[in-house]
């Protein structure tokens, strides 16, 4: 285990409207505000989305199990913002519910808002970290410096 300590910086409150792209919007905010490290919380609705709900097996590199939301869902999520090379990268895990069905996973593609979605972003100051491709995992993993 590796860790560093930091402190809370700016807090950004954002509202995503119907059909807004959530992942692109979070990246845009991080880029505009130069948020190099942060954590965020989401609550609201998603119209569609594509999530990874675990690997097929416990092997490296992992083969993802993809699930489509395909229609409106309630969502609650938490994620991190760290940069990879010259742009912010979003890592978001959430629970997505519709009627009596719940899906949990890592939102990676096609993330559009249904009606409204709220985001609270908390900047973390004093952390020098970035995402780098890990050859064994084939994923952009967090590297603390």
pLDDT for residue 24: 97
Can you list the positions of beta strands (E) in the chain?
Answer: 7-17, 37-55, 64-68, 73-84, 87-98, 101-125, 129-134, 139-144
CATH number for the domain whose boundaries are 10-144: 3.30.1330.80
Please determine, for residue 110, whether its predicted confidence score (pLDDT) is greater than 90: no
Closest by Cα among 55, 43, 114, 126 to 79: 43
% of the chain exceeding 70 in pLDDT: 100
Q: Categorize the per-residue pLDDT at 125 as very low, low, confident or very high, splitting at 50, 70 and 90.
A: very high
Bridge-based pairing state of the strands 73-84 and 101-125: unpaired
Kindly list the domain boundaries of the chain, sorted by start residue: 10-144
What is the per-residue pLDDT for 90? 97
Q: 85-105 pLDDT, tens per residue?
A: 999 999 999 999 999 999 999
Burial class (CB in 10 A: 0-12, 13-18, 19+), 119: buried
How sure is the predictor about 109, in pLDDT bands with cuts at 50, 70 and 90?
A: confident
Evaluate whether 111 touches 23 at the Cβ level (below 8 Å).
yes
The rounded distance, in Å, linking the Cα atoms of 37 and 31 is 11
Q: What is the pTM of this model?
A: 0.94
Confidence grade of residue 70 (pLDDT, cut at 50, 70, 90): confident
C-beta separation of 42 from 117 below 8 A: yes
Whole-angstrom Cα distance, residue 74 to residue 134? 33
């Amino acid at each position: 285990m590796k860790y560093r300590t930091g402190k809370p910086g700016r807090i950004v409150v954002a509202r995503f409207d119907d059909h807004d792209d959530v992942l692109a919007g979070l990246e845009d905010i991080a880029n505009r505000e130069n948020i190099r490290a942060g954590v965020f919380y989401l609550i609201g609705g998603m119209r569609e989305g594509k999530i990874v709900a675990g690997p097929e097996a416990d092997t490296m590199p992992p083969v993802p199990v993809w699930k489509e939301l395909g229609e409106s869902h309630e969502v609650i999520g938490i994620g991190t913002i760290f940069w990879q090379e010259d742009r912010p990268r979003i890592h978001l895990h959430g629970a997505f519910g519709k009627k009596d069905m719940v899906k949990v996973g890592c939102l990676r593609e096609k993330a559009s808002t249904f009606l409204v979605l709220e985001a609270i972003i908390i900047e973390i100051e004093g952390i020098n970290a970035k995402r780098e491709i890990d050859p064994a995992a084939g994923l952009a993993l967090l590297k603390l410096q």
